[in-house]
Amino acid sequence: MRFAGVAVKAGTIHMAVVERDADQDGFGVGIDSAFSRLTPPSGPRTASGLRELKERVQQEIRDWDIRSVTLVDTTKYVQWKYADAYARVLSLSAVMYAAAEANLPYVEVKPASIGKHLRTPRLETLDPATIAFATAPKYWTTGGLEAYAAAAFGARLAV
């Protein structure tokens, strides 16, 4: 079974997939080829831009036969620039909308809870081997780590 994890960083949706079966030990296996980075459409802010982004997220979900979507909640509560907040809310909305349309469970989890599950209190120090990567995959340090970790957390909830 495959589970998606999402981290929104710098206005980009990082979406990772972890595979884990019910009788499988460990935290699952990250699927490098399923990783995607989606950016909101450039240009003027339009309502159709949200739909377009949702469609792109949904196509990823369709391609990989996902069972749940887990989003890493932010710990940043102050000093938001409006442009940053707008990009994050747009991205979150697209992910939530896509999950709802696909009738998939959607949860938001704090990094601390994910770290606790993966036995890595400081999530940013997560070893790629935790999800069966020999070396850190591309984009690991720029959003991939959190997305994979969220996917592994989602697998734990469902399996």
Tokens for 39, please give them: 């950016």
Contacts of 76 (CB under 8 A, 6+ apart): none
Which of positions 97-156 make contact with other proteins (CB under 8 A)?
none
Torsion of CA 115, 121, 126, 132, to 10 degrees: -50
- 22, 43, 81, 141: which one binds other proteins (CB under 8 A): 43
What crossing angle do the helices spanning 47-64 and 82-101 adopt, rounded to 10°?
50
Among 2, 20, 56, 88, binds other proteins (CB under 8 A): 56
Residue 59 in contact with other proteins, rule: CB under 8 A: yes
How many residues touch other proteins under the rule CB under 8 A: the total is: 16
Query: Is the CB of 43 or the CB of 122 nearer to other proteins?
Result: 43
Strand partners, 37: 14
| Contact yes or no for 45/81 (Cβ under 8 A) | no
Among 22, 23, 25, 44, binds other proteins (CB under 8 A): 44
Asked if 32 interacts with other proteins (CB under 8 A), we say no
Residue numbers of the site for other proteins (CB under 8 A)? 36-39, 41-44, 48, 51-52, 55-56, 59, 62-63
